[in-house]
Amino acid sequence: MELQHYTEQIEALSQQEDLLPLGRIASEHKQHFEDLLIELERQEQVKRLEAADQGQAYEELDYKPQKEAFFEAFNTFVSKRKAQQQLQQTLEAQNLKLKRDLITRLKEVIDNEEKIGTAFQAYKEIHETWKKIGAIPREQRETIQKEYSRLLEIFFYNIKIYKELKDHDYRRNKQLKEDLIFKLKQLRVAPLEQRDLEAQLHVLQDEWEEIGPVQNEDWELMKTAYWEAVRSIYDKINEHYEAQRQVLKANIDAKKKLVADLAERLKETDQWNNFKHWETQTAFVLDLQAQWKTIGSGSRKENEAVYQAFRALCDEFFAAKKNFSKEIDAASQEIVQKKKSLIEKAQALSSSTDWKNTADQLKKLQKQWQDFGSAGQRYENKLWKEFRAACNGFFDARQAHFEGQDAENNNNLEAKRTLIEALHQYALPTDKQAALAQLRDFQQQFNAIGQVGLKERQNVYTAFKTRMDELYKDLKLEGQEKERIFFQAKLEGMLASPDKQRLLQSERQEIRKQIDFLQKDIFTLENNLGFFARSKGADQLRLDVQKKVEAAQEKIKGLKAKLKLIPNE
């Protein structure tokens, strides 16, 4: 994870030989580590509170091992760097003593040595030794350099050298110093990191000291230009550090204002008596936390203190919110149970295809849901999603069903109109059987086509039946054949009707009435046969009655055959 990454970065820095220039980088790693740790701990706090709000247990991650590992590595780095700093300070103190000894020796050469060759040789030894000596304490650098430069100036002006060599060296040194002053001026405006700027400044200052003297009349102007350029760079360096201090102070001030704003808001806690109030204040606190993350760090000591104050206030707020939620949850449990019952009912109805009755039932459940009121912020949204999902499942299915049915009905209507148009164009053939077969085929085609919309259903059926009746009438059928064919055509027409169930049921009832009537008639006729036996001419009457009974039985047989032709009978 990223915390481990920062630990590894610090460990990698500790392995480098020169730790002195790495202090700022290590501090930045530490700051980033602390900021990330703060954010992770905040996230864990939010997760714990959210889990508590949902009635769930949450085991908060412990970042203590990562924190201890990081600071162990950081302290190791600091210790190593401190040791190097102490060593550097010791070396710088030794170097300072060596340079002061060289300055003393150079003074003695200037004051006492009269031989030019010996003096010049002594100068060379002093100067070579001076260059080999490392850094000295920063606060002494300018003073020592000025003193050494001053003595060099005196030395070179006291040394008698050949005029030609002196003039040549003076011109060359002047050009080198002018070039170096130009580099210093360029360095002043160069877009460099602070550490690189200081390092290059030291290099140029060392180069300045290594350049020999110039003509006395040029020296004051060049010296003034040189130190003005150097001071301008030091001014820039100081401005940078001062700007950093101002930024750190501004960051601390901004964080203190967030702490003050939160503390002021928490004074109103007793006025927040519903979930809407608490949600508004939660948004306010989360916004403050988001602002906190955008603000940079301040000084190490102040940054930690103001963070602890801010975190304590956040903890106070979320603890108060948790207590409020517990009180509200207790009052919401009765409504929760009622709404869970409505959810179970809605889920049981969600797969129903009884579109009208089920829709009415679900609408009643929705009305009850509203009448129960809110189950509280902790439960209401979750319960509502489950309830709405069950309702939507049914209503979405119903909408899809009717949309598909409308498209199918339109296609069926067009097909039936096309068939009716064909019937109007159809001419009966002379062969009666062929005509009957063709008419039955028309009837079967019409029946095979699915339903049409309710608005057009009766009209298209009436148009088809009217034309079919005209064609059957044109066949001029007779006897039983006419009876059978007409009844079969009548049934097929009923099957094509939008009201086929009612028509078929009515036809069954009518046939059964006729059968009952004939059976009663047969019973009466057979009962009367007993009287005919005691009268004159009984044989002839008995014969007539017997014929009527047989005729009635034959009709009953035909009617029963018709009943068998009716579907579902």
User: Residue 161: pLDDT above 60?
Assistant: no
405 confidence band (pLDDT: 50, 70, 90): low
Distance CA 102, CA 92 (A): 15
The pLDDT > 90 percentage for the chain reads: 0
Mean pLDDT of the chain: 77
pLDDT per residue as tens digits for the range 117-132: 677 788 888 888 888 8
pLDDT at 127: 87
Identify which has the larger pLDDT, 402 or 474: 474
Q: Which range, 175-179, 280-284, 319-323, 390-394, has the best average confidence (pLDDT)?
A: 175-179
3-state secondary structure string, 79-112?
Answer: HHHHHHHHHHHHHHHHHHHHHHHHHHHHHHHHHH
The pLDDT > 70 percentage for the chain reads: 84
pLDDT at 499: 67
pLDDT at 299: 73
pLDDT at 255: 76
Identify which has the larger pLDDT, 278 or 536: 278
For 290-305, what is the mean pLDDT? 78
pLDDT per residue as tens digits for the range 229-244: 888 888 877 777 777 7
For 466-474, what is the mean pLDDT? 77
The least confident of 22-31, 46-55, 209-218, 490-499 is 490-499
Q: SS3 for 166?
A: helix
| Maximum pairwise Cα distance, the chain | 196
- Rounded to 5°, the CA angle 357-358-364 comes to 95
Chain Cα centroid distance, residue 427: 71
The crossing angle, in degrees rounded to 10, of helices 2-14 and 23-53 is 160
What are the residue ranges of helices labelled H in 113-215? 116-132, 138-158, 163-189, 194-210
User: Residue 96: pLDDT above 70?
Assistant: yes
pLDDT per residue as tens digits for the range 191-216: 877 787 778 878 878 888 888 887 78
The least confident of 221-230, 338-347, 367-376, 483-492 is 483-492
User: Residue 39: pLDDT above 80?
Assistant: yes
Distance CA 225, CA 177 (A): 10
- Give the end-to-end CA distance of the chain in Å, rounded to a whole number: 78
For 155-176, what is the mean pLDDT? 72
pLDDT at 107: 86
The least confident of 204-208, 210-214, 484-488, 521-525 is 484-488
164 confidence band (pLDDT: 50, 70, 90): low
Contacts of 288 (CB under 8 A, 6+ apart): 258, 261, 262
544 confidence band (pLDDT: 50, 70, 90): confident
User: Residue 453: pLDDT above 80?
Assistant: no
569 confidence band (pLDDT: 50, 70, 90): very low
Which amino acid is located at 165 in the chain? L
User: Residue 320: pLDDT above 60?
Assistant: yes
Instruction: Look up the pTM and report it.
Output: 0.29
Identify which has the larger pLDDT, 398 or 389: 389
User: Residue 35: pLDDT above 70?
Assistant: yes
Identify which has the larger pLDDT, 475 or 176: 176
Identify which has the larger pLDDT, 381 or 528: 381
**Over the range 381-411, which residues count as b (16 or more CB within 10 Å of their CB) and which as e?**
eebeebbeebbeebeebbeeeeeeeeeebee
For 381-406, what is the mean pLDDT? 72
- Rounded to 5°, the CA angle 66-71-72 comes to 95
Strands of 401-508, DSSP E: none
pLDDT per residue as tens digits for the range 381-390: 887 787 778 7
Distance CA 20, CA 86 (A): 10
162 confidence band (pLDDT: 50, 70, 90): very low
